[in-house]
Amino acid sequence: MATTTLPETEIAKRKPQVTKYVYFFGDGRADGNGKMKDELGGKGAGLAEMTNAGLPVPPGFTIQTEACREYMRHNGVSQEVDRQMEEALKHLEQLQGQKLGKGDNPLLVSVRSGAKFSMPGMMDTILNLGLNDQSVEALAKRSGNPRFAYDSYRRLIQMFGNVVLEIPKSAFDEVFEAKKKQKKAKLDTDLDARDLKAVIAEYKKVVKKHAKRDFPQDPHEQLVMARDAVFRSWNNDRAKHYRRINNISDDLGTAVNVQAMVFGNLGETSGSGVGFTRNPATGEKEFFAEFLINAQGEDVVAGIRTPLRISELKRIMPKVYDQLQQIATRLEKHYRDVQDIEFTVQDGKLYMLQTRNGKRTGRAAVRVAIQMVEEGLITKEEAIFRVEPNQLYDFLVPRLDEKEIKPENILTDKGLPASPGAAVGQIVFTADDAVAKAGHGAKKNPVILVRAETTPEDIHGMEVAVGILTSRGGMTSHAAVVTRGMGKCCVAGAGEVQVDEHEREMRVKGQVFKEGDWISLDGTTGRVIKGKLKTVEASPDDPELTKLLGWAEPFRKIGVRANADIPRDAIQARAFGAEGIGLCRTEHMFFAEDRIPHMQAMIMARDEQERRAALKKLLPMQRDDFAGLFRAMDGLPVTIRLLDPPLHEFLPKREELMVEIAVLPHANAKQKKSLVEKYRRFGAKAAGDLKKVLPKVLGRVEELHEFNPMLGHRGCRLGITYPEITEMQARAIFEAAVAVEKEGVNTHVEVMIPLTATLKEMAHQAAIVRRVADEVFEEKGQKVPYLVGTMIELPRAAIVADEIAKEAEFFSFGTNDLTQTTFGFSRDDINKILPTYLAEGILKQDPFAVLDREGVGALVRIGIERGRKTRPHLEVGICGEHGGEPSSVEFCHQVGMDYVACSPFRVLTARLAAAQAAASEKLKVEGGRTK
Ligand code: PEP
Ligand code: MG
């Protein structure tokens, strides 16, 4: 076997590279920098950047995200991670002249998570690590403040017990509260050193009892266990949930930051605070921070003590305040964005613990983006990307008047912003009370339903309430989902609020609220505020919003239309900037009170003649509906879809009918009367008729009954089996168009055939539409321009799109049905399996909310490509729910659609998302929406 000799340099190159897992920062120099968010996470990158910039940052090191990914893969980290961590710890010990948890002056560290994208409060933190039975005494002596030392130790046991050993918080809270009660202490700070020593002894017992082991005394063991727990916290339910709703990949992992502790609880010259460089609710340019004297960081955010306004710091420690403000300004300039900072003052010396881009409301995002352009900090092009398209919803709902909000009245700001908007009302604790207290008409009374969590049984109360507050549940809890559907303000999962439904009491921040007390909810930020605040109306024409959109929209390549069925919605959509109607679901017009009897008569008809008679009654009503839409959309395209749903949806339910027939012989006069009322439109005039009418209706319902109605007698299949329905609808459309054109309205009619799968289906329906159009134009002596096209909502339609395009003059992707038929998931029942699929990572997102690019998206691409092969200028749009979801809008732009269509309240979002998609392509900036 031939051998070759490699030159030395080659050998060096071929040596396996050791991954750098641990990055040190301290003493003005850091291994990493602010750009390394992938490796160091946002917090680690920020600490490195601040250290390099010479800001006062306590030294430490960051264990990078690769170690977390390793931990997730192998359920542990490699020896190399341990080795590098020990080395970094030694470096830290040398720099500080201290040893972790040892000696007269023990080094104590914090261990904190920090992922690439900030996930506030989702993962875990441990402070004061390194304390044990010996080092606590050393700390007591050194600080001359035994109370502080024992307080720090008890906090460590509590945090470590909860985060690492997974002992419920309440087990520690009980001990602490019992001590406070015994000592008649009002505040935590009323407990002295001796009390805290006793608490520590009790805490240790709690650990032993729950974890079946002692609290670890070895500081190195504490560190390894804490690091691993932080890695595990990446996959806790809260964090997984947060990532899902914020589109953050589960694969990123978190970094762990180990940092020398500085103490804000050393007495009256120490403190901790958090803040924003600008107001995160309004965007106002003001240093917006809060702090607490003699407290550690988590006290400020936990809401146990009410923090002070930052202006107080100016009074108490003017030098520290000036330095802090200078640093805040510097950081904002450096990062060119609003910063969310954490700081601690130890014995009068300021330390920066964190800086990251601050989260903000939609209104604040718009305002800040504009201000920063005016200040020359960012360009207009950058400003476009400083607002998340979904945030524009904030402009379409009322909000609380910020001027009225006093910090001391904020009961919590940590509820989940489950459904945006504002609500001001009187508290009720049950759905029944909500109904009783909400009143009607002139006596209408705004109530806010406050529950630990809501269930489907609360629906009636939720309907009448102006807002909902729950103390439990996440962003997809019942309360959150239902209220978003209702367009109603909701703050969910407000953990600081205790709800006692039996006592009809809400307790928060030591205050008790009873039924009838006024509160105000801010569903955009998750705040709950005491009292009856004023609200400010929705403002889609807000000048700042208009300005930002004015910068963004010239980039936009695709149109934005609305899905609207009635003139009122169309007018609203147009006010939000809709450029036409992408989908008018005509069946919604048939459900109206005055229409449904004729619709039902049409369905019950025994033959074509009877059917035509019923349709004739519907014709003028449909014509009026369409005329209204054309007027509202004067000059813009209006896409009208012919009848789509299975007919039995218009009839009484089969099971209900069966029960009614079964109980009819035993029914009393009152029950019979209500049945006559219900079945009058089917021919029941008196109780005696019911015996005949009910079985007749049931007979027809049975005939129409299908096992899979979504795959059944619906869409164009209806118009093919009952061509007279298509005829009537086409006639109504063209008669309306001609009539309004005569009034001077400019129409662009697009008639859309639903659920086609074959060319012949399309040709069949198109032929009827075109024939009727000719008839109407002939009769009225006037023509209007129009297109006949189809929805592409079945996989076959996408695949044979070249064929279908021979007849179809436009395509609109119905991605609700296309998702349903591509996955074979029922769109109505997916929620039974979706939570498991998301939790198991089988699906990343709900495919009915975010377009599945790989599967459904591939069909969309095929459909467009093949359709345009036949008809190069084929107009293509989307009208499924995805048309208003930013990442799906981006996809629609990328595949070359002409427009997206979405519900009126998502028009602003779609406009910005479409503009961002085009701008990111043109400016080559990172605009991809999937993190
Ligand atoms: C669709 O299927 O995407 C669609 C828009 O139609 P509908 O939701 O009415 O079925
Ligand atoms: Mg559909």
Give, using CA atoms, the residue closest to atom 3 of ligand 1: 814
- Please name which of 909, 916, 882 lies closest in space to residue 392, comparing C-alpha atoms: 909
- Identify whether the C-beta of residue 117 lies closer than 8 Å to the C-beta of residue 931: yes
- SS3 (DSSP) at 448: strand
* 587 Cβ inside 6 Å of ligand 1: no
How far apart CA 589 and CA 582 sit, in angstroms, is 16
Give, using CA atoms, the residue closest to atom 10 of ligand 1: 817
Question: What pLDDT is recorded for position 735?
Answer: 98
**pLDDT tens column, 31-83:** 999 999 999 999 999 999 999 999 999 999 999 999 999 999 999 999 999 99
How far apart CA 724 and CA 3 sit, in angstroms, is 87
Mean pLDDT, to the nearest integer, of 528-542? 92
User: Facing residues of 107 across strands?
Assistant: 100
Give, using CA atoms, the residue closest to atom 4 of ligand 1: 814
Mean pLDDT, to the nearest integer, of 727-752? 98
Residue 930's pLDDT band, with cuts at 50, 70 and 90, is very low
User: What count of Cα atoms within 13 Å lies in the side-chain half-sphere of residue 782?
Assistant: 14
Q: What is the DSSP string of 3-60?
A: -----HHHHHHHSPPPP--EEEEETTEESS-TT-HHHHHHHHHHHHHHHHTT-----E
- The answer for residues whose C-beta is within 8 angstroms of residue 421's C-beta and 6 or more apart is 397, 398, 399, 467, 487, 488, 489, 523, 524
* 582 Cβ inside 6 Å of ligand 1: no
- SS3 (DSSP) at 290: strand
| Beta strand segments in 779-874, E | 786-792, 810-813
Residue 922's pLDDT band, with cuts at 50, 70 and 90, is confident
For the cut 90, the answer to whether the pLDDT of residue 727 exceeds it is: yes
Q: DSSP state, 214?
A: P
- SS3 (DSSP) at 145: coil
For the cut 90, the answer to whether the pLDDT of residue 460 exceeds it is: no
* 814 Cβ inside 6 Å of ligand 1: yes
Question: What pLDDT is recorded for position 501?
Answer: 87
How far apart CA 484 and CA 524 sit, in angstroms, is 12
Give, using CA atoms, the residue closest to atom 8 of ligand 1: 816
Question: What pLDDT is recorded for position 485?
Answer: 65
* 585 Cβ inside 6 Å of ligand 1: yes
Ligand 1 center from residue 9 Cα (angstroms): 64
Question: What pLDDT is recorded for position 644?
Answer: 94
Element (H, E) at 354: strand 349-357
Question: What pLDDT is recorded for position 929?
Answer: 39
Does 239 or 882 have the greater pLDDT score?
882
Mean pLDDT, to the nearest integer, of 493-520? 93
* 357 Cβ inside 6 Å of ligand 1: no
> Between the ranges 180-189, 452-461, 709-718, 865-874, where is the mean pLDDT highest?
865-874
- Please name which of 189, 181, 118 lies closest in space to residue 150, comparing C-alpha atoms: 189
Give, using CA atoms, the residue closest to atom 9 of ligand 1: 585
Question: What pLDDT is recorded for position 824?
Answer: 96
What is the pTM assigned to this prediction? Answer: 0.81
For the cut 50, the answer to whether the pLDDT of residue 822 exceeds it is: yes
How far apart CA 797 and CA 710 sit, in angstroms, is 16
For a pocket test of ligand 1, which of 641, 793, 859 has the largest count of ligand atoms closer than 8 A to its C-beta?
793
Phi/psi at 488 (5° precision): -115, 145
Atom of ligand 1 nearest to the CA of 793: 2
- The answer for residues whose C-beta is within 8 angstroms of residue 628's C-beta and 6 or more apart is 566, 567, 570
In this structure, which ligand is nearest to the CA of 584? 1
* Percentage of residues of the chain with pLDDT beyond 90: 69
**Unique residue bearing structure tokens 């092969």:** 869
Question: What pLDDT is recorded for position 2?
Answer: 39
- Please name which of 94, 96, 118, 109 lies closest in space to residue 45, comparing C-alpha atoms: 118
- Please name which of 817, 882, 824 lies closest in space to residue 849, comparing C-alpha atoms: 882
Ligand 2 center from residue 684 Cα (angstroms): 35
- SS3 (DSSP) at 574: helix
- Please name which of 492, 503, 494, 430 lies closest in space to residue 462, comparing C-alpha atoms: 430
**pLDDT tens column, 257-267:** 999 999 898 88
End-to-end CA distance of the chain: 51
Between 299-313, 324-338, 549-563, 758-772, the lowest mean confidence (pLDDT) is in: 299-313
Question: What pLDDT is recorded for position 931?
Answer: 34
How far apart CA 445 and CA 788 sit, in angstroms, is 49
Question: What pLDDT is recorded for position 300?
Answer: 66
Question: What pLDDT is recorded for position 122?
Answer: 64
Ligand 2 center from residue 908 Cα (angstroms): 23
For the cut 70, the answer to whether the pLDDT of residue 9 exceeds it is: no
- Please name which of 707, 698, 655 lies closest in space to residue 679, comparing C-alpha atoms: 698
CA distance to 150, 619, 736, 812, per residue, from 784 (Å): 84, 19, 10, 21
Element (H, E) at 344: strand 339-346
- Active-site positions read 478, 879
CA distance to 382, 428, 467, per residue, from 517 (Å): 45, 9, 14
- Identify whether the C-beta of residue 475 lies closer than 8 Å to the C-beta of residue 239: no
**pLDDT tens column, 669-701:** 999 999 998 898 888 999 999 999 999 999 999
- SS3 (DSSP) at 360: coil
Ligand 1 center from residue 489 Cα (angstroms): 27
Helix segments in 875-926, DSSP class H: 886-894, 907-923
Mean pLDDT, to the nearest integer, of 548-570? 95
Q: Average per-residue pLDDT in the chain?
A: 91
Between 75-89, 214-228, 326-340, 453-467, the lowest mean confidence (pLDDT) is in: 453-467
User: What count of Cα atoms within 13 Å lies in the side-chain half-sphere of residue 659?
Assistant: 7
Question: What pLDDT is recorded for position 869?
Answer: 98
> Between the ranges 411-415, 612-616, 637-641, 709-713, where is the mean pLDDT highest?
637-641
* 826 Cβ inside 6 Å of ligand 1: no
- The answer for residues whose C-beta is within 8 angstroms of residue 512's C-beta and 6 or more apart is 505, 506
For a pocket test of ligand 1, which of 565, 583, 859, 900 has the largest count of ligand atoms closer than 8 A to its C-beta?
583
Query: Phi-psi category of 304—alpha, beta or left, where left has phi over 0 and alpha has psi -120 to 50?
Result: alpha
- Identify whether the C-beta of residue 522 lies closer than 8 Å to the C-beta of residue 529: yes
